[in-house]
Amino acid sequence: MQEQYQWGSTAQTSQQVAVQQNRVLRNTYLMLALTMVPTVIGALIGVQLQFSFFAGSPLISFLLFLGIAFGFFYGIEKTKNSPMGVVLLLGFTFFMGLMLSRILQVALGFSNGGSLIAMAAGGTGAIFFTLATVATVTKRDFSGLGKFLFVGVIVVLLAALANVFFQIPALSLAISAAAVLIFSAYILYDISRIVNGGETNYITATLAVYLDIYNVFVSLLNLLMAFSGERD
């Protein structure tokens, strides 16, 4: 009787965990869709106003951007269990939309700029849905990728900082190509963490996946402009 009770208790616990994981995944996808609204609004405003965060000193602007971004990260982490966490997350995605406007302005300077943006968006969507499906359906644990990917991000950040000074086109392309690979793998890693119970807060999960998608899109657009951009 005791063994039956223990088995029933274990089964019930497993079911509760599965329900919790599905809830986090569902809420993450819903929140992710919502974050696209302030991102698009921020990008449209930035394009209309010809916004350029890096118009001044590239180094100071880069460091200021990191300071603002990490300030948002800190605030979101501190308030992730309250409605304020949602507010800060949406505020951050609006800010990132403004930051996105600069590369969109450059892309629209090409005669096929609209097509390049659409291709980058389509490619990003294809990468996300493919890797999210793999992580969800297979339910494999990709947590082993974490340390490798973190090192990769640090290397990309350092290379991007160095290129602020050197302005080497080939290095810029290499950074974009590496970023596409690294953040695509991060999509697999982050969705896998949700599916396997490694992440239980949908606000934190949304922030992670949003950054993955954002960086894949920007990097893809950089590559498309370099290889397929057509001047008038």
Q: What is the pLDDT of residues 79-128, one digit of tens each?
A: 999 999 999 999 999 999 999 999 999 999 999 989 999 999 999 999 99
Q: Is pLDDT larger for residue 162 or for residue 8? A: 162
Mean pLDDT of 203-232: 92
What local confidence, expressed as pLDDT, does residue 9 receive? Answer: 52
Per-residue tokens: 167: 């302005």
Q: Which of 158, 22, 176, 39 is nearest to 96 (CA)?
A: 39
| pLDDT value at residue 61 | 81
What pLDDT, on the 0 to 100 scale, is given for residue 1?
55
With a pLDDT cut of 70, the percent of the chain lying above it is 91
Residue 58 pLDDT:
73
Give the pLDDT band (50/70/90) at residue 232.
low
Per-residue pLDDT tens for 14-28? 676 677 788 889 999
Q: Residue 192: what pLDDT?
A: 92
CB 174 within 8 A of CB 134: no
pLDDT digits (tens, 9 = 90+) for 47-78: 998 887 766 677 788 888 889 999 999 999 99
Is residue 214 a contact partner of residue 89, using CB atoms and an 8 Å limit? no
pLDDT of residue 22: 84
Q: Is the pLDDT of residue 33 over 70?
A: yes
Residue 88 makes CB contacts below 8 A (sequence gap 6+) with 72, 75, 76, 79
Count of C-beta atoms within a 10 Å radius of residue 69: 15
Answer yes or no: pTM beyond 0.75.
Answer: yes
